Chain A
Amino acid sequence: MKVSPATGMNRGSGRLRRMKPERVKELTLIGIISLSVVTFGFLIENYLSGRFFNRVITSVVIVGILAAGQALVIITRNIDLSVGSATGVAAYLTGDFLAANTSTGPLVAAVIAILVGSTLGAFNGLLVAYGRIPAIIVTLGTLALFRTMLSLYSGGQNITADTLPDWVLQFNQVTVVSFGDFDIRLVSLVAVLTGLGLHWALARLRWGRRLYAIGSNPEAAKQAGLPEQRLVFWAFVGSGAFAGLAGFMFMARIGTISATAGAGLELESVAAAVVGGVSIFGGAGTILGALLGASLIKTLELSLVRLPQVSEFWRDAVLGILILVGVLIDLALQRRLSRRPIAAARSDSGSSPPVTVGEHSRASEGAPDE
């Protein structure tokens, strides 16, 4: 019987000990982000300002949304490497539609983008859940397939800003409320609310908890009678939908859409999720963590860009180091926890999202109702 990797740290004192391990990871991330902002504040001129805050929260939107969708899939012990291409397809097709129908509003455009993304996600989901092909193979294939189809469709032509409705280019600037130089932008609010909505659903709703059960121990979940295929399928549809939303945001941010739109975002989204404490081995992690992971990556990226001493190659290397550190911490936790008696794991895991032994039996009780 396998114990979820994130069921708690048995050392550490007092309050920290009683805290859920996800909270500890999330607080650690907030700490690291704050620490790096302060450090860079000393290193870079004109750094600490409302402007920089606005930069980070607007640039984190796309990766943040993708990281949330990616976390959904990774929690089920799968991975979606096609999200960058799906983002590009959604951005291009939505832009194409808007250029032909310039009276379309933002809401309809967002819905179109999400539908496009969901369709692509459903294709992945069918192959992974029902075709029984490993997710890394399927989505590595569709990463190339979606991109190639987009290249052929576009014929190398970009969608140019002057053909899009006027609201598109201003969309990123729409501010809900300002505190001095600090803006709360609509795009950031949408990303945060969507992410927190998913976070809540995963923690509180039955299907959310079942996703953790599947990722934590697929065999046990299957034997307990969980509709494993259907849940994995919908996780991929969800990831596709988030990629679609990210595509909409991408279109609004960049304005000129080429067939290469979104290339490379798949790895940034995986990085954000893993750095945010989502276990690459499935079954553990939170959406809030993934959002914080995305924030950390973007904060570092936007800061390192302004340090002339740091070459471009090193900026990529920093991302790689972050991923490895995230995975290593996860592995270390898992190893340590697997040596612990199961009773201890049960007693201090409480009702935290990662499914523990107790959760399995509860899930199996509910299964016949389905």
Chain B
Amino acid sequence: MRKRMRLAALLAAVALVAAACGSAAEDTTTTTTTTEQDTTTTSAGVEVGGPVVIEAAESISALFLPKCTNIPVFPQANSGAEEAAAELGSDPASFVGPADCGDSTGQIEFMANAVTQGVGAIMVSNNAGDELAPSAQAAADAGIPVVSWDSPIPSAEGESVFVAQVDFDDTGVVMADMALEILGAGGGEFAILSATPEAANQNAWIAAMESALVEDDKYADLVLVDTVFGNDVAEDSVTQALALADQYPNLGLIMAPTTVGIVAAAQAMTQEGLCDQVKVSGLGLPDEMREYSLSGCAPVFALWDFVDLGYLTYYVAYGIATGQIEAAEGVVFEAGRMGMYTITADPTRDSGLRVLMGPFTVYTVDNIGG
């Protein structure tokens, strides 16, 4: 979106005004979203008498909507969804979305199109905060279940259930533990390099980490000095990482809970010869981080399996779309090779339901391979 604004700035003088209005408008829409949906999703609590085994029924059409198509984790998740669709004898979901993860509101259009086409289910990794909620509500009104995965809709408005990769509070603890491991018992300064300011999962993890830091005394000497945003764009993330290293001479660690940010930060420290002073950690893809793990620049980082996440998400969406399970608290179901899961209230949001996948894999030089 910003890129398009720059184009406008070049072509017409009005663009400046547009840019200013754009940012202001975004700020207000995120703060004025409603919380009226609190009760709708947690209402039933249906006792369904034992686990439901989700099985092949009719074939459904579905949309598997990533934050963007060009970050490897999303095609990975889609391959899991395809695997599940094949097992259930359903057509593979269409895997389309914005090309650029910096395009935070591009998903809205894809949602609207899917509703118009009348798909059987929408699976979305939300990149637009609550700006996506009206589109999700429109889908729900049309009888289309919206299953979020990877990143939920903060207000849960229009969302059937969120398939969480890991517990967001656990993410905070895992990140705090990795920071402690790198900075040592003596502590030190660290900074967070996030994706976009609107990314709900990033914000939840950062908040979880901040509360983990104050809850346990062993983290008392870890000092979070700054949080910056690299927009999940490599060049921006490199710039931000280097700016952090320059701004804080005592910085010992950059924590990046984004696969784009962590690898950009590791490369930035590597090419400027700063790895001895500033380590990098966070959530990263083993393939992309191997180089920096082996070099010692990123001694420890974590992630979950995105193929499994896509697989489980498809099972949940299919189960709801075919009426085999209901999106309600207490429903227990079996999702193919991954086994039993329970739908619960989401403890990390004010409202909404959650299926928790887990667990984390923590990568070090010992299990990175290479």
User: Measuring CB to CB, which residues of chain A are less than 8 angstroms from any residue of chain B?
Assistant: 44-47, 49, 51-52, 54-55, 59, 62, 147, 151, 154-158, 160-162, 169-173, 250, 253-256, 258-261, 263-264, 267-268, 270-271, 301-302, 305-306, 308, 311-313, 316-317, 319-321, 323-324
Give the contact stretch, choosing among B54-62, B119-127, B176-184, B230-238: B230-238
A55-B242, A169-B270, A302-B243 known; A160 vs B290 contact (CB < 8 Å)? yes
10 smallest CB-CB distances across A and B, nearest first, come from A320-B9, A313-B23, A156-B75, A162-B291, A255-B267, A161-B291, A162-B290, A267-B6, A172-B271, A259-B70
| Residues of A with C-beta under 8 A to B290 | 160-162
| Residues of B with C-beta under 8 A to A267 | 3, 6-7, 10
Interface size (B, Cβ < 8 Å)? 56
Given contacts A47-B246, A51-B246, A54-B272, 13 further A-B contacts (CB under 8 A): A46-B248, A154-B70, A158-B72, A160-B290, A162-B287, A169-B271, A169-B291, A253-B267, A255-B291, A260-B100, A260-B234, A263-B233, A312-B229
| Residues of B with C-beta under 8 A to A305 | 228, 239-240, 243
Q: Is B99 an interface residue (CB 8 A)?
A: yes
| Residues of B with C-beta under 8 A to A172 | 271-272
| Residues of B with C-beta under 8 A to A54 | 272
Let me know if B271 and A173 touch, CB within 8 A: yes
Let me know if A313 and B22 touch, CB within 8 A: yes
Bound state CA distance, A311 and B20, in angstroms? 11
| Residues of A with C-beta under 8 A to B292 | 161
Closest partner residue, chain B, to A259 (CB atom) = B70
Which applies to chain B's interface (DSSP): helix, strand, loop or mixed? helix
Let me know if B246 and A313 touch, CB within 8 A: no
Let me know if A55 and B19 touch, CB within 8 A: no
| Residues of B with C-beta under 8 A to A311 | 23
Let me know if A46 and B72 touch, CB within 8 A: no
CB distance from B9 to the nearest CB of A (A): 3
Closest partner residue, chain B, to A315 (CB atom) = B2
CB distance from B68 to the nearest CB of A (A): 8
Q: Is B112 an interface residue (CB 8 A)?
A: no
Let me know if A160 and B291 touch, CB within 8 A: yes
Let me know if B3 and A264 touch, CB within 8 A: yes
Q: Is B69 an interface residue (CB 8 A)?
A: yes
Give the contacts of B27-75 with A (CB-CB under 8 A): 68-72, 74-75
Bound state CA distance, A214 and B287, in angstroms? 50
Let me know if A258 and B71 touch, CB within 8 A: yes
Let me know if B10 and A270 touch, CB within 8 A: yes
Bound state CA distance, A158 and B76, in angstroms? 12
Let me know if A320 and B19 touch, CB within 8 A: yes
User: Measuring CB to CB, which residues of chain B are less than 8 angstroms from any residue of chain A?
Assistant: 2-3, 5-7, 9-10, 13, 15-16, 19-20, 22-23, 68-72, 74-75, 99-101, 197, 226, 228-229, 231, 233-235, 238-240, 242-243, 246-249, 260, 263-264, 267, 270-273, 287-288, 290-292, 294, 370
Let me know if A55 and B246 touch, CB within 8 A: yes
| Residues of A with C-beta under 8 A to B71 | 156, 158, 258
A157-B72, A320-B16 known; A254 vs B240 contact (CB < 8 Å)? no
CB distance from B310 to the nearest CB of A (A): 13
- Most B Cβ at <10 Å: residue of A161, A250, A256: A256
Give 8 CB contacts A-B under 8 Å.
Answer: A160-B290, A161-B263, A258-B234, A267-B7, A268-B6, A270-B10, A302-B239, A306-B246
Q: Which of B13, B70, B239 contacts A156 (CB 8 A)?
A: B70
Let me know if B246 and A49 touch, CB within 8 A: yes
Closest partner residue, chain B, to A270 (CB atom) = B10
Let me know if A151 and B69 touch, CB within 8 A: yes
| Residues of A with C-beta under 8 A to B243 | 55, 302, 305-306
Closest partner residue, chain A, to B295 (CB atom) = A169
| Residues of A with C-beta under 8 A to B273 | 173
Closest partner residue, chain B, to A268 (CB atom) = B6
Closest partner residue, chain A, to B13 (CB atom) = A324
- Most B Cβ at <10 Å: residue of A51, A158, A253: A158
Bound state CA distance, A59 and B99, in angstroms? 25
Q: Which of B70, B228, B272 contacts A258 (CB 8 A)?
A: B70
Let me know if B287 and A160 touch, CB within 8 A: yes
| Residues of A with C-beta under 8 A to B294 | 162
CB distance from A8 to the nearest CB of B (A): 27
Q: Which of B99, B235, B248, B260 contacts A151 (CB 8 A)?
A: B99
- Most A Cβ at <10 Å: residue of B15, B22, B233, B242: B242
Let me know if A263 and B239 touch, CB within 8 A: no
Let me know if A271 and B2 touch, CB within 8 A: no
CB distance from B197 to the nearest CB of A (A): 8
Bound state CA distance, A267 and B288, in angstroms? 29
Q: Which of A156, A160, A306, A320 contacts B247 (CB 8 A)?
A: A306
- Most A Cβ at <10 Å: residue of B69, B100, B291: B291
CB distance from A182 to the nearest CB of B (A): 14
Let me know if A155 and B75 touch, CB within 8 A: yes
| Residues of A with C-beta under 8 A to B370 | 162
Q: Which of B231, B240, B272 contacts A173 (CB 8 A)?
A: B272
Let me know if A320 and B287 touch, CB within 8 A: no
| Residues of A with C-beta under 8 A to B13 | 324
| Residues of A with C-beta under 8 A to B197 | 312
Let me know if B238 and A254 touch, CB within 8 A: yes
A157-B75, A256-B267 known; A45 vs B247 contact (CB < 8 Å)? yes
Closest partner residue, chain A, to B290 (CB atom) = A162
CB distance from B337 to the nearest CB of A (A): 24
